[in-house]
Structure 1
């Protein structure tokens, strides 16, 4: 019974955070073009892409609690459970990347990701909700629920497509507005941006594999999928 409560609590917190952001926060952007964009132009940030992905995952998880199954390895897996498992395989590496990248750069040179003017208007609880709790909640989910990861080709491809889609979107916005979502890109020349984006994509793929391995450790019984699409149930000792 507590699992649906956990999932619903995360959804409620995320909805409240999003509502608070839209009603009470007015972030000054470097370009006036952003002022006319819907959703207060928040979709320019990878943090929001990740936040929405995590919220979607917990919504699907809640539905799975009600109409699906949380069995370790069900003989007949409902569609909602398959969607949940695939979403987790993508949401976990993206959330971990966002947390590591944000707090890593924050520790080295905070103004590159969190300028002082933003810190003055951005509540600490909201900052942690969007940059810390996204990973904490998914680690809890990893430990307390069981899932079958998709094949590595399927899962890693979806993860890479997600990351590359954001990179393309970020450059499209820059071409339209002349401004970057994150100040760090103002100090990177073109070759360094390629290096940074390439490293970010590789890191996302690496974190995906880490999530896959962690899942095989915490799940005593699961279906292990292979690159050719076949699967085998295994029991960890």
Structure 2
């Protein structure tokens, strides 16, 4: 299969059976390791409606895994279509994982009990696997192995708001089935405060999208017409 011509603002060859394949393989191994830990983790939420997928962390991890699986398939087949599909998925998964990283470690710095009860607290290594590694792998994929994103501000806002409020509706639906929220912070807020939190998170994700896009330009060079 013919390999597509590399974009002039893409630092390394991808799809490729070299560095690109190694990065996607390492990312998949990391994500699967986190899922393996999750399967062995005894927690009440596993038996509840929605299971672990009540956590935004697990939704983001699943999307990151799917993104890298498509990326690995592109590396193995050298398929331009799969490469473009990986890049489209990354526009959602990379900013989401950056958002998850910021929210998790930011809330933990304030009070760890906002994100999980004391009896469910994870040690550092699993926490890094869930709340740092996905964002790092996806950022590296963007900065080193991807062409510039074409998404603009309005589209980024619309995408972020849609994802944020879909998750909110899902959380509220699970709450009606289970009688409790996956994250303790949700129970501390009233409806309007939760709306404000999800709106803020959506704009933070938009900011993550723009930051990643800007970082790609700084790492790989900015087109002359934008300088």
TM-score normalized with structure 1 length: 0.79
Match of 1:47 in 2: 57
Distance, in Å, in 1 between the alignment partners of 2:34 and 2:118 is 21
Displacement of 1:142 after TM fit?
Answer: 2.8
Residue aligning to 2:117: 115
**Cα 1:67/1:154, change in 2 over 3 Å:** farther
Gapped regions of structure 2 (runs ≥ 5): 1-17
Tell me how far apart the structure 2 counterparts of residues 214 and 8 of structure 1 sit (CA, whole Å).
24
Larger relative contact order (Cα-Cα within 8 Å, sequence gap ≥ 6) = 2
- Mark the CA change 1:81 to 1:3 in structure 2 (over 3 Å): closer, same or farther: closer
Give per-residue Cα distances to partners, 1:133-189, cap 9 Å, x unaligned: 112222222332132424325555444322221111011111222211100011111
Corresponding residue of 1:73: none
Q: Distance in 2 between matches of 1:20 and 1:194?
A: 32
What CA distance in whole angstroms lies between the structure 1 residues aligned with 2:21 and 2:193?
A: 45
Aligned residues: 209
Give the Cα separation in 1 of the matches to 2:77 and 2:217. Answer: 25
Structure showing the higher strand proportion among its residues: 1
Give the distance between the partners of 2:105 and 2:176, measured in 1 at CA: 27
- Residues 45, 181 of structure 1: 8 Å contact kept: yes
Runs (4 or more) in structure 1 with deviation over 3 Å come to 153-160, 233-237
Whether 1:13 aligns to 2:30 is yes
Going from structure 1 to structure 2, the CA distance change for 1:143 and 1:149 (only over 3 Å counts) comes to closer
CA RMSD of aligned residues (A): 2.3
Seen in structure 2, the aligned counterparts of structure 1 residues 15 and 44 have a Cα distance that, compared at 3 Å, is same
TM-score computed with the length of structure 2 as normaliser: 0.82
In structure 1, distance between residues paired with 2:98 and 2:144: 18
- 1:215 and 1:90 map into 2 onto residues whose CA distance is 16
CA shift at 1:82, angstroms? Answer: 1.6
Q: Measure, in 1, the Cα distance between the counterparts of 2:22 and 2:135.
A: 18
Give structure 1 stretches of 5+ with no counterpart: 70-77, 222-232
Q: Which residue is 1:180 aligned to?
A: 181
Does the CA-based 8 Å contact 1:97-1:203 persist in structure 2?
A: yes
Aligned residue number for residue 228 of structure 1: none
